[in-house]
Amino acid sequence: MNVLIVYYSMYGHIHRMAEAVAEGVREVPGAEAVLRRVPETLSPDVLEKMGAVEPQKAFAHIPVATVDELASADAIIFGTPTRFGNMCGQMRQFLDATGGLWVKGSLVGKAAGVFTSSATQHGGQESTILTFHTFLLHQGMVIVGLPYAFAGQTRIDEITGGSPYGASTIAGGQGERLPSENDLAGARFQGRYVAQIAAKLNG
């Protein structure tokens, strides 16, 4: 069973979450996690000015996703940073190229989930995931969130991401905060949970 993890990461926070999602997927017998980055839309000059060139070298080895790969996956988990309460432009452009899949119904019935990050605690994480769900519904996919069976999202002893809609992390205004162990645990839980649902749907 092929679980595709498609994401965009500028400074590495979503990449680290994607790795944790993949770890969770691999805990399900017979499930293979495949990591893919969506194409970059910003010029090297802009990325340089944003301080993103050096951080992106850490995950430059991850192959760039193609739209056709979505159709061949048994389940898909999307990761995107928050941009003003919505998905980033790179992800939006990638999804806008899936019209051919929509016409053919290629994604109908596939399990799908979303994870995200934001600079602040209330930086639009939930709205980013919920508005992403609209795309999944238009494609006929089966939305899988992060249920309260993951008790880590109810913690109040530390700053943490995670909601019933999906795993998340808080990066900090300067990107100084890395995903915490609780954030990563939520990502692993969601990866495992999506793979488990996909196994049932494909069974």
Q: Annotated binding residues for FMN, as ranges?
A: 9-14, 82-84, 117-123, 138
Q: Annotated binding residues, as ranges?
A: 9-14, 82-84, 102, 117-123, 138
Q: Annotated binding residues for substrate, as ranges?
A: 102
The phi, psi pair for 82, rounded to 5°, reads -85, 135
Closest CA to 8 of 122, 87, 100, 102: 87
Q: Annotated binding residues for NAD(+), as ranges?
A: 11
Show Cβ contacts of residue 117 under 8 Å, excluding neighbours closer than 6 positions: 13, 14, 17, 81, 82, 125, 161, 168, 169, 170, 171, 179
